[in-house]
A and B are shown apart, each in its own frame.
Chain A
Amino acid sequence: MKHDIHLTVNGDRHHIAVDPRRTLNEVLREDLNLTGTKLGCGSGDCGACTVMVDGRAVSSCLTLAVEVDGSDILTIEGLAPSGEKLHPIQAAFVEKGAVQCGFCTPGMAMSAAYLLSQNPCPDEREIREGLSGNLCRCTGYTKIVAAIQSAAEHMQGGSEGDEGR
């Protein structure tokens, strides 16, 4: 039996009928065409599918859509609300060269956004802990960590950047 659910995704309200087996990842990617959120391991290990549900970073591959009925969801597509100007985290990833193949990047950016929402000026250890649920298989994490440090500084300065929602 399908269940009627309401989701607010990046500010837009959606009313969807879902089979209870469908994950939030499937609904975002297949029903809403929000393919910025990736599917990696499907077991909560790699973090490529990270989105925010009611302000908390979660693995969308292990979240049943029916379980987040009524929730407010933020994906990588909604990180920069204007859709034109990049969020400071995205801008910092570009500036610091923190993107290689890019597959892990949306998840990294969402984990970074969650980390900075909890801890606006993390030190390097805290950043690495905050990213411990996100894997990058291209190479290391040095530039990703540098980008998040830079984004944190920018957001602290805070006058010009979009601060997310």
Chain B
Amino acid sequence: MNIAPFEYHAPRTIEEAVALLNNGGKKAFAMAGGTDLLIKARQKIVRPAIVVALKKIKGLNRIAVDEDQGLTIGATALLSEVAAHPLILERYPAVAEAAAGTANVQIRNMGTVVGNLCNASPSADNAPTLVAMEACLHIAGPDGSRTLPLQDFFKGPGLTALNTAEIVTAVQVPPPPPNAGTSYRSLSARGAVDCAAVCVAAMVIVNNKRLQKVRLCVGACASTPVRTPQAETLLAGKTLSEKRLAAAADQASRETLPISDVRASSAYRRRVVSVLVRRAVVRAVERAQPSNTA
């Protein structure tokens, strides 16, 4: 077992879950799939005295695609469900790509997109795409509910903007504007199975061959997923040329601060950021102009 004893609760409502977390304070942990929490508990990185399982809360696993509201992924919706959802594949392909690129088959059948965000690993596969698409989080807590742009959620490795007893109940992605395209690209030692050494998401809006808007987000190259605003500026309002793309990709690399670790060296990561930014932008532009591809 190798874990100190904890109380286990499986409340039926969000209110109950928040109350349990509130009573438990800092020693209480919310659990969705448990794939991160259990490993951290075994490694004594966290010492939960109370575990509040979210799985039994009705409707929290909801995935909804709506013309006005966009895409809503509930806290307990599985990675495998998001990766295979027909409407997500059709309208939010990069969201599905990121979910499909997370961990392995078994973990995707247990873990959740929202859990991947809340674990706040700098290399979280699902973060870059959702940040690039301007997703926001729905958060429930003792003082009621609030929404927060995902970009403001990450505070460092394992650290988020969540206050004690708050739960992320869903992540919501606004409907993609007309002529928008998104893409997610990652690189790791063991294919998609491993933690990403570098991951990049791009969202573009293309009008008359001009990149009206560009949003880039790089994961695993700083203490949180980061936007690279100067690289975005190099592309925004311009037509896409090989030279501009190369300049923007190199700029994106300069805007990251990767460390060297077991997965890759800092210098290698910088090089890979540049490569993946190019690939992600090219693919996003193709998706924004479906008639020009094929």
Chain A interface residues (CB < 8 Å from chain B): 1, 3, 19-23, 26, 42-45, 47, 50, 56-59, 62-64, 66-67, 111, 114-115, 129-130, 132-133
The reply to whether B42 and A59 form a contact with Cβ atoms under 8 Å apart is no
| 8 A Cβ contacts from B1-60 to A | 1, 3, 5-8, 10, 34-35, 38-39, 42, 51, 53, 55
The reply to whether A62 and B105 form a contact with Cβ atoms under 8 Å apart is no
The reply to whether A132 and B5 form a contact with Cβ atoms under 8 Å apart is no
Please give, as numbers and ranges, the residues of chain A lying within 8 Å of B107 by CB-CB distance.
Answer: 44, 59, 62, 133
The reply to whether B6 and A62 form a contact with Cβ atoms under 8 Å apart is no
Interface of A is mostly: mixed
CA of A57 to CA of B78, assembled, Å: 13
The reply to whether A133 and B6 form a contact with Cβ atoms under 8 Å apart is no
Which among B10, B39, B80 is the interface contact of A44 at CB below 8 angstroms? B39
CA of A122 to CA of B55, assembled, Å: 31
Please give, as numbers and ranges, the residues of chain A lying within 8 Å of B104 by CB-CB distance.
Answer: 44-45, 47, 132-133
The reply to whether B39 and A43 form a contact with Cβ atoms under 8 Å apart is yes
Measured CB to CB, the closest approach of chain A to B96, in angstroms, equals 15
The reply to whether B7 and A132 form a contact with Cβ atoms under 8 Å apart is no
Residue of B whose beta carbon sits closest to that of A22: B1
CA of A143 to CA of B55, assembled, Å: 38
The reply to whether A64 and B5 form a contact with Cβ atoms under 8 Å apart is no
Please give, as numbers and ranges, the residues of chain A lying within 8 Å of B106 by CB-CB distance.
Answer: 44, 47, 50, 57-59, 111, 133
The reply to whether A1 and B7 form a contact with Cβ atoms under 8 Å apart is yes
Measured CB to CB, the closest approach of chain A to B124, in angstroms, equals 16
Residue of B whose beta carbon sits closest to that of A64: B34
Most buried by A among B6, B51, B104: B104
Please give, as numbers and ranges, the residues of chain A lying within 8 Å of B42 by CB-CB distance.
Answer: 42-43
B71 within 8 A of A: no
The reply to whether A57 and B8 form a contact with Cβ atoms under 8 Å apart is no
CA of A58 to CA of B110, assembled, Å: 7
Which among B1, B8, B110, B191 is the interface contact of A3 at CB below 8 angstroms? B8
The reply to whether A21 and B105 form a contact with Cβ atoms under 8 Å apart is no
The A/B interface has a contact count, at CB < 8 Å, of: 76
Chain B interface residues (CB < 8 Å from chain A): 1, 3, 5-8, 10, 34-35, 38-39, 42, 51, 53, 55, 80, 103-107, 109-110, 191-193
Measured CB to CB, the closest approach of chain B to A122, in angstroms, equals 12
Which among A20, A22, A26, A133 is the interface contact of B51 at CB below 8 angstroms? A20
Which among B1, B55, B109 is the interface contact of A67 at CB below 8 angstroms? B55
The reply to whether A114 and B105 form a contact with Cβ atoms under 8 Å apart is yes
Please give, as numbers and ranges, the residues of chain B lying within 8 Å of A57 by CB-CB distance.
Answer: 105-106, 109
Measured CB to CB, the closest approach of chain B to A57, in angstroms, equals 5
The reply to whether B1 and A133 form a contact with Cβ atoms under 8 Å apart is no
Measured CB to CB, the closest approach of chain A to B89, in angstroms, equals 15
Please give, as numbers and ranges, the residues of chain A lying within 8 Å of B105 by CB-CB distance.
Answer: 57, 111, 114-115, 129-130, 132-133
**A64-B193 contact given A44-B39, A56-B109, CB 8 Å threshold:** no
Measured CB to CB, the closest approach of chain B to A20, in angstroms, equals 3
Measured CB to CB, the closest approach of chain B to A10, in angstroms, equals 19
The reply to whether A26 and B1 form a contact with Cβ atoms under 8 Å apart is yes
Please give, as numbers and ranges, the residues of chain B lying within 8 Å of A59 by CB-CB distance.
Answer: 35, 106-107, 110
Measured CB to CB, the closest approach of chain B to A89, in angstroms, equals 16
The reply to whether B8 and A58 form a contact with Cβ atoms under 8 Å apart is no
Please give, as numbers and ranges, the residues of chain A lying within 8 Å of B3 by CB-CB distance.
Answer: 21
Please give, as numbers and ranges, the residues of chain A lying within 8 Å of B39 by CB-CB distance.
Answer: 43-44, 62
The reply to whether A132 and B55 form a contact with Cβ atoms under 8 Å apart is no
CA of A19 to CA of B170, assembled, Å: 30
The reply to whether A44 and B35 form a contact with Cβ atoms under 8 Å apart is yes
Please give, as numbers and ranges, the residues of chain A lying within 8 Å of B103 by CB-CB distance.
Answer: 44, 133
Q: A47-B104, A62-B35, A132-B192 are in contact. List 13 more A-B contacts (CB 8 A).
A: A19-B1, A20-B7, A42-B42, A44-B106, A45-B193, A56-B80, A57-B105, A63-B110, A64-B34, A64-B38, A66-B10, A67-B53, A132-B193
